[in-house]
């Protein structure tokens, strides 16, 4: 693997609201750095090694696109190129290469760190660059300078200390089995700094983050992919940074009033209501004791064993779900049902999905099966939400339950996509692993909305950038301890943008 990094400017061309720069690297190659002005306060920076420009659509961007009126003024001299809007200036030092972001007064907001060296002159953290093998780019990165006093917040549902300075993180959704470690269900490649800026790494791939851990002077963001793409968002307040970030990735709609009440969830392992009789008795007891509760959630046992998730009631355990839901409603309860985006091998739904090509595939073309439950339960196939027919099919499976009176669904799991999987849209699992829950939750959210729910709400476990569009989320499997409670609070402080 060869590391290469940008060392100097060669030339540039200006478009309406875009600058395209050609740069020289330490190994004598050429890269393109493209700067797009989305608004006076938002700048997009993309780095294309070997001048291999890639233009792709986005699952994450939903809000305002680049503004036609954001045309920077340009100053070009021997030492630097200065691109200026009414709120931001970007100064690009030509040799040695360095990008600096300045406010309207010319004060420094953020700059690349291109000389994080030890006393022997060796790099502690490499400047903006990439790694390649046999001419194929494997990884790209950007390195920013950290000021001595700034604080950094974000990166999604991280259960570690709120200020992420001094931490190293991997942004890759996993079934964390806990909420007291760095592993998490909801990773978001976005952070904010007390210096008045935010950075949104616009990618779906695995991101490695080092916020002053290897070197206290540097924040390095590394993407396992062939190009780098990030947005610099100027506030200067954290409130304005968040507002502009959600302007890019979508706002969170207001959930229904009842969803702000108390939810009572059964445990899969210790389930207090495994049958209709137990559930109704539980509801009656809650009301008899005067205990407040608005939503009752039932985990997988509402379905038949070995058929998760086929959306068919186990009529032995729940012989009259329609009547049960009506009786619960009369006591002031709403019902939430469990699901995951997988179908079990051996079930009728698996045969249907596989026969129609609705499942994520292996490189050879057969359905990819995984075992997110471990060896205790059969393997499952994963619904391919990039296939429009599969997406509509899965959405339709919810509608009879919604018409029956089910209020919402616990959209569990969604973190199991292998990196070598192949999707209908041509993407690999390395590209679709992280945004898979974004599509999954959108599908269920739309099923609720299309069935007449004015303010739909899901109860989601996994997420990626943009998932705030489909509220709400919970912190996954937690320890019922005060330590677990503290982890949930830390993870929820900035798990996804509101």
376 is catalytic: no
Which residues lie across from 34 on neighbouring strands? 20, 46
Q: pLDDT of 313-352, one tens digit each?
A: 999 999 999 999 999 999 999 999 999 999 999 999 999 9
What are the CA-CA distances from residue 440 to residues 39, 174, 312, 435 (Å)?
31, 15, 19, 9
Residue that is written with structure tokens 């950290």 in the block: 146
- Percent pLDDT > 90 in the chain is 86
Does position 409 have pLDDT exceeding 90, yes or no?
A: yes
CA 493 – CA 242 distance, rounded (Å): 13
- The two tokens of residue 188 are 């978001």
Choosing from 412, 431, 454, 493, the catalytic residue is 412
Domains of the chain: which residue ranges? 2-249, 257-456
Q: pLDDT of 114-126, one tens digit each?
A: 999 999 999 999 9
pLDDT (average), residues 31-47: 96
CA neighbor of 194 nearest in space, from 147, 159, 144, 142? 147
Does position 53 have pLDDT exceeding 50, yes or no?
A: yes
Distance between alpha carbon 456 and the CA centroid of its chain, in Å?
A: 20
pLDDT-derived band at 306 (thresholds 50, 70, 90) equals: confident
Instruction: Specify the DSSP class assigned to residue 41.
Output: T
CA 480 – CA 380 distance, rounded (Å): 29
- The two tokens of residue 98 are 């360095």
Per-residue model confidence (pLDDT) at position 497: 44
Q: pLDDT of 140-199, one tens digit each?
A: 999 999 999 999 999 999 999 999 999 999 999 999 988 888 999 999 999 999 999 999
Q: pLDDT of 234-274, one tens digit each?
A: 999 999 999 999 999 999 999 999 999 999 997 776 777 88
pLDDT (average), residues 474-478: 87
Per DSSP bridges, beta strands 228-234 and 263-265 are unpaired
pLDDT-derived band at 305 (thresholds 50, 70, 90) equals: confident
CA 126 – CA 191 distance, rounded (Å): 21
Per-residue model confidence (pLDDT) at position 307: 83
Per-residue model confidence (pLDDT) at position 308: 87
CB atoms inside a 10 Å sphere around CB 87? 15
Mean pLDDT of the chain: 94
- Domain 2-249 belongs to what architecture? Sandwich (2.60)
299 is catalytic: no
412 is catalytic: yes
Q: pLDDT of 75-129, one tens digit each?
A: 999 999 999 999 999 999 999 999 999 999 999 999 999 999 999 999 999 999 9
pLDDT (average), residues 34-50: 96
- Domain 257-456 belongs to what architecture? Alpha-Beta Barrel (3.20)
Choosing from 36, 116, 415, 431, the catalytic residue is 415
Choosing from 103, 450, 477, 479, the catalytic residue is 477
pLDDT (average), residues 472-487: 88
Does position 498 have pLDDT exceeding 50, yes or no?
A: no
Packing angle between helix 388-404 and helix 436-450, nearest 10 degrees? 50
Does position 430 have pLDDT exceeding 60, yes or no?
A: yes
């Amino acid at each position: 693997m060869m590391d290469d990094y940008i060392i100097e400017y060669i030339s540039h061309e200006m478009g309406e609201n875009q600058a395209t720069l050609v740069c020289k690297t330490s190994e004598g190659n050429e890269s393109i750095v493209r700067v797009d002005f989305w608004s006076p306060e938002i700048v997009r920076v993309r780095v294309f090694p070997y001048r291999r420009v890639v233009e792709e659509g986005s699952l994450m961007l939903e809000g305002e696109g680049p503004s036609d009126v954001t045309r920077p003024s340009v100053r070009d001299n021997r030492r630097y190129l200065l691109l200026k809007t009414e709120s931001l200036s970007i100064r690009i030092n030509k040799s040695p290469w360095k990008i600096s972001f300045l406010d309207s007064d010319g004060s420094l907001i953020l700059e690349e760190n291109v000389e994080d060296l030890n006393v022997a002159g060796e790099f502690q953290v490499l400047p903006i660059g990439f790694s390649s093998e046999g001419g194929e780019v494997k990884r790209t990165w950007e390195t920013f300078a950290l000021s001595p006093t700034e604080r950094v917040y974000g990166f999604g549902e991280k259960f570690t200390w709120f200020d992420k300075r001094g931490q190293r993180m991997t942004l890759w959704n996993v079934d964390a089995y806990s909420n007291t470690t760095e592993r998490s269900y909801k990773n978001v490649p976005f952070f904010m700094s007390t210096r008045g800026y935010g950075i949104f790494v616009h990618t779906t791939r695995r991101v490695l983050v080092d916020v002053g851990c290897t070197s206290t002077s540097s924040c390095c963001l590394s993407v396992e992919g062939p190009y780098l793409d990030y947005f610099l968002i100027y506030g200067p307040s954290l409130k304005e940074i968040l507002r502009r970030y959600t302007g890019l990735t979508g706002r969170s709609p207001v959930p229904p009033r009842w969803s702000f009440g108390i939810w009572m969830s059964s445990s899969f392992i210790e389930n207090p209501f495994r049958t209709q009789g137990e559930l109704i008795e539980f509801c009656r007891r809650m009301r008899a004791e005067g205990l407040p509760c608005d939503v009752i959630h039932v985990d997988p046992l509402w379905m038949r064993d070995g058929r998760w998730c086929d959306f068919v009631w186990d009529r032995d355990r729940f012989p009259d779900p329609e009547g049960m839901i009506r009786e619960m409603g009369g006591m002031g309860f709403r019902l939430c049902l469990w699901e995951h985006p997988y179908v079990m091998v051996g079930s009728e739904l698996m045969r249907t999905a596989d026969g129609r090509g609705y499942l994520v595939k292996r490189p050879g073309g057969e359905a990819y099966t995984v075992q997110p439950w471990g060896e205790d339960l059969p393997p499952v196939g994963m619904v391919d939400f990039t296939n429009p027919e599969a997406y509509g099919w899965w959405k339709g499976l919810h509608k009879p339950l919604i018409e029956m009176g089910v209020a919402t669904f616990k959209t569990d799991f969604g973190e199991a996509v292998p990196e070598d999987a192949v999707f209908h849209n041509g993407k690999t699992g390395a590209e679709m692993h992280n945004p898979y829950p974004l599509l999954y939750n959108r599908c269920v959210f739309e099923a609720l909305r299309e069935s007449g729910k004015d303010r739909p709400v899901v109860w989601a476990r996994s997420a990626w950038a943009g998932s705030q569009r489909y509220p709400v989320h919970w912190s996954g499997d937690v320890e019922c301890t005060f330590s677990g409670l503290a982890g949930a609070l830390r993870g929820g402080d900035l798990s996804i943008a509101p």
